[in-house]
Amino acid sequence: MTIDVDEQWKLLIGGSWIDAGASYEIVDPSTMAVVGHAPEATAAHAADAARAARDALPGWRGLSMAERGAHLARLADALEARCHEWVDLVQAETGSTINITETMQVAGAFIDRFRYYSRPVDVNETVAPFRMTKTALGPAGLLGAYVLRQPVGVVACITPYNFPLVNVAGKIAPALMMGNTVVIKPAPQDPLGILRFGEVLDEILPPGVVNIVVGSGPEVGAALVESHDVNMISFTGSSPVGVRIVEAGARTMKRNLMELGGKGALIMTDDADVDAAIGGIASVWGFHSGQICTAPTRVICHRSIYDRTVSALAGIAGMLPVGDPLDRSTIVGPVITETHRDRVEAFIRSGTEAGATLVAGGERPDRPGFFVSPTLLADCTADMHVVREEAFGPVVVVLPHDGDDEAVAIANDSEYGLFSYVYAGDMSRAFDIAQRVESGNVALNGVQPHMEAPFGGFKMSGIGRDRGVWGLHAYSEVQAVNWPS
């Protein structure tokens, strides 16, 4: 399907498509061509959307979980039938390769989340009877209690640019199933696929249950964080923005789910399977140009296999096809914007200036668009900016270690703790290391996440967990009801 650059995109508020009155350009990161004009909402639109979500709340939370689940199942069916039509649009605005777009941006987890959460689950619990002595409040006896999970209310879902539809689905599917209503504020860089998705939401859900506001700057998201009509912020994005949101939201006692930055440590012990590990590490370059919060970008490699690992990684980095994301042989596409490309380049320079060895990449590919070559920096030390901060680009740093204790110490010498990896020949040794790593998730001898295990970060990588039943818990308030028995 071709993209209509002149399409009039609107905001979804209370079941109506609202003309924002202004717009801004969305640019294809690989060609720099304009893909479309996104509606430029104001803080007043954000307030209207929050009010619409609040008005829709009694009706939606009044449905049974089975009824809400039936809506989600219908949504999953409609997406399955329709979303292949959006591949061109989402590919163009995100710049992700056509292979990644088809399998992971506009399918896969995006639809699976609705299907998964459409199944009703009993999230309530009973508490063991409590033996009371006689008090001024009542006679001696037994008290029973039931712990109910109630919806939090209106949830503002503020999301990053890397996987726009997947990020939004991971939030709104459990939030809706728990009986909350939602305002989506997608990332400014690539919101058009979300607006297309809004057309399906609008057909299937009652008006106001999901609302969408879009803006080029932080103002629209900030207005939702300040709103008295919003009870919870479910945010995925960078840690500094997460801090600003938690600070601002404290004034209205917002509930927070914070999924923030990461600097994934990958520990290789002396008995690690080097070939398996380098396959996992190379995913940093090939999987959406390293624009992944969980990517294993910080390799902590035992000195006995260090040279072999670095030279094998350099070989792979030099072979990966970089270029046109529409070419099916391309592995590394662009990063999202010119500003971000410049930031990643400055990040790499800071590494070489601090004494790291540039083993592969580092140069700007000779073609239009916002490309960064797959880059490998070796001989890094834990104090370097390139080791401490996330690049959110195709950049891997390697540090040597001399034993498991040192490897764990280096891994933990980080503000982040989102997703870490251990490659070890002996699984019990890998498990022992995993338990000592300060990280919300640890994968052993592989880089695949378990999509139903709890996901979230230690330290500056976030607050709270989602996925699986933890997703339903995240979007609920706990209410205890007790009675004499």
Tell me if 296 contacts ligand NAD by CB under 6 A.
no
Single out the residue of 237, 290, 334, 394 in contact with ligand NAD (rule: CB under 6 A): 237
Task: Write the CB contacts of 63 (distance below 8 Å, at least 6 apart in sequence).
Answer: 179
Closest approach, Cβ 417 to ligand NAD, in A, equals: 11
The pairing of strands 16-18 and 11-13 is antiparallel
Which residue intervals of 287-413 are DSSP H helices? 306-319, 338-353, 385-388, 404-412
Burial class from Cβ neighbours inside 10 Å (0-12, 13-18, 19+) for residue 412 reads: middle
Single out the residue of 37, 244, 385, 473 in contact with ligand NAD (rule: CB under 6 A): 244
Tell me how far apart the alpha carbons of residues 386 and 384 are, in angstroms, rounded to a whole number: 5
Region from 143-151, 259-267, 303-311, 444-452 binding ligand NAD, contact rule CB under 6 A: 259-267
Interface map 369-398 toward ligand NAD (x if CB under 6 A): ---------------------x-x------
Minimum CB distance to ligand NAD smaller for 285 or for 392: 392
Whether 259 is catalytic is yes
Q: In what order do the strands lie in the sheet with 462-463?
A: 16-18, 11-13, 210-212, 181-185, 154-158, 232-236, 255-259, 462-463
Tell me if 408 contacts ligand NAD by CB under 6 A.
no
Minimum CB distance to ligand NAD smaller for 180 or for 439: 439
Look up residue 384 and give its two tokens. 């370097």
Q: Which of 83, 293, 301, 380 is catalytic?
A: 293
| Chain residue at closest Cβ approach to ligand NAD | 221
Tell me how far apart the alpha carbons of residues 337 and 94 are, in angstroms, rounded to a whole number: 9
Residues 129-188 that bind ligand NAD (CB under 6 A): 158-162, 185, 187-188
The candidate with the shortest Cα–Cα distance to 267, out of 461, 430, 459, is 430
* Alpha carbon distances (Å) from 225 to 18, 188, 248, 394, 476: 21, 17, 7, 32, 18
Region from 15-23, 101-109, 231-239, 381-389 binding ligand NAD, contact rule CB under 6 A: 231-239
Q: Which of 40, 93, 259, 390 is catalytic?
A: 259
Tell me how far apart the alpha carbons of residues 346 and 386 are, in angstroms, rounded to a whole number: 10
Task: Give the three-class secondary structure for 54.
Answer: helix
Minimum CB distance to ligand NAD smaller for 257 or for 359: 257
Region from 115-123, 175-183, 232-240, 473-481 binding ligand NAD, contact rule CB under 6 A: 232-240
Closest approach, Cβ 159 to ligand NAD, in A, equals: 6
The pairing of strands 210-212 and 441-444 is unpaired
Are 49 and 198 in contact, with CB atoms under 8 Å apart? no
Closest approach, Cβ 214 to ligand NAD, in A, equals: 9
Minimum CB distance to ligand NAD smaller for 284 or for 314: 284
Tell me if 96 contacts ligand NAD by CB under 6 A.
no
Interface map 431-470 toward ligand NAD (x if CB under 6 A): -------------------------------x--------
The pairing of strands 375-378 and 357-360 is antiparallel
Single out the residue of 238, 283, 304, 445 in contact with ligand NAD (rule: CB under 6 A): 238
Buried b (16+ CB within 10 A) or exposed e, 312-348: bbbebbeebebbbbeeeebbbbbbbbeebbeebbebb
Residues engaged in binding ligand NAD (CB under 6 A)? 158-162, 185, 187-188, 218, 221-222, 225, 236-238, 241, 244-245, 259-262, 293, 390, 392, 418, 462
Residues annotated as catalytic are: 259, 293
